Amino acid sequence: MTTIDLQCPGCETLLELDRGFAGGVCRCSDCGTLMTVPDSAADRPERLERPDAPVQPQSRPDSPSKPSRRASTTRTKPTRSRSREPEPKGKQTYRTASGRTITVDHDRVIPMAPVKRHAVRAATVLVFVAVVGGVLGLCGFGVYLMWSRPDAKQVAEAQYVETFQFDPDANPYTIAAPHVLGLPLTNRVAVVYDTTTLTADQLASVNPLLLDGLRRGDPAVAVTLIANRAQGELDTLLDERPLDRVDTEALRRDLADLTANAAGSPLISATQRALNDDPEVLILVTARRVDQAEARAVANLLPPSGVRLDAVMIDADSFALEDLTREHGGHYVTLASDQELADWQP
């Protein structure tokens, strides 16, 4: 609604009125003065007076006296009279200070000009801006959360980093959480157990330690365990099995059936089979030196989306495999039969 601002000629109150009443008449809502509504904002409203209204005579003093300085300099503001004369009926003729004559039909409704309320309008604008700003802020925050929210894989990797506290001096038999030779396990893990160069004594030390870490049931951890039997034949001892559903007695028998110094080299083929389950972490357990060519072959099998690679070397060392684990955010561990494996006891 477009309004026009008026200043009442009777009480000087600032009023506002719909611009559609321009050129007509209205009353002041504060003092009841009947006035004209100018056509443009440049004109001022004029008070309407009836031609037959009695003129109030001005009293004269009996003796002339010099007006006081205070009286001549003090400007008085018109008082607002709340008492109104009875509303006339029918058509009445009025005149203005400029000499215009205007006929007003009192049988029709004369619009009442309300007081202009700056504070109300300013508050309305502020509330509107605050509401719109709040809505836009919530929308922006929602979009930020959608784009910044990590996916399940990122969350899993972050959890793995937070829970990994491998201590080579700690006895893995005392670790309460699931682990592989002391490496804590989280989410989906694939383990390649390469026994092609392990001796019978090494198997006797590693198998109980491996079984002890995997028998700690945790439904949130699913493990794939790939090993080899005689003649280099691959065997899946655990196929993405949640640890709380692992048959430890059956796993103990399967580990006992593994042959030391078995023929073949299952590292590459076993790694490829282990990655078929799309693990988040791949752990290689081996006792032979992995050369640069074999390490690159393993690297070529790793998906570009990223799989964390850990390696546990038994009585061996491989710079190529150590560099590969670092490239894939993993950990490289060496264990000696006459040291750690000999000292660790249940």
Q: What percent of the chain has pLDDT over 90?
A: 11
Same domain membership, residue 296 and residue 212: yes
CATH of the domain at 243: 3.40.50.410
- The closest alpha carbon to 222, from 264, 168, 252, 186, belongs to 186
Same domain flag for 94 and 182: no
**Angstrom distances, CA of residue 26 to CA of 17, 91, 105:** 9, 15, 12
Q: Are residues 158 and 130 in the same domain?
A: no
- DSSP secondary structure string, 270-311? HHHHHGGG--SEEEEEESS---HHHHHHHHHHS-TT--EEEE
Q: Verify that 20 and 127 share a domain, yes or no.
A: yes
CA–CA gap between residue 289 and residue 321 (Å, rounded): 9
pLDDT at 153 over 50: no
- Confidence at 343, pLDDT banded by 50, 70, 90: confident
Domain annotation covers residue 149: no
pLDDT digits (tens, 9 = 90+) for 263-303: 555 578 888 888 888 899 999 998 888 889 888 988 898 88
- Whether 110 and 208 map to the same domain: the answer is no
Question: Domain for residue 9, yes or no?
Answer: yes
Give pTM, 2 decimals. 0.53
Please tell me the distance from the alpha carbon of residue 330 to that of residue 334, in angstroms, as a whole number: 14
What b/e readout covers 208-240, taking b as 16+ CB neighbours within 10 angstroms? bbbbbbbebebeebbbbbbbbbeeeebebbbeb
Q: Are residues 130 and 161 in the same domain?
A: no
Same domain, 125 and 183: no
Please provide the average confidence, as pLDDT, over all residues in the chain. Answer: 79
What pLDDT is stored for residue 70 in this prediction?
43
**Is 214 a member of any domain?**
yes
Overall number of domains in the chain: 2
- 168 shares its domain with 310: yes
Does any domain span residue 72? no
Look up the domain containing 32 and give its range.
1-51+83-134
Asked if the structure places residue 21 within a domain, the reply is: yes
By three-state DSSP, how is residue 23 classified? Answer: coil
Please state which of the ranges 22-36, 73-87, 184-198, 304-318 shows the lowest mean pLDDT.
73-87
Q: Using one digit for the tens of pLDDT, what is the confidence trace for 229-246?
A: 656 578 888 888 888 888
What's the token pair of residue 308? 């964390």
Give strand pairing partners of 335. Answer: 314
By 3-state DSSP, what share of the chain in percent is helix, strand and coil, each rounded to 5?
35, 20, 45
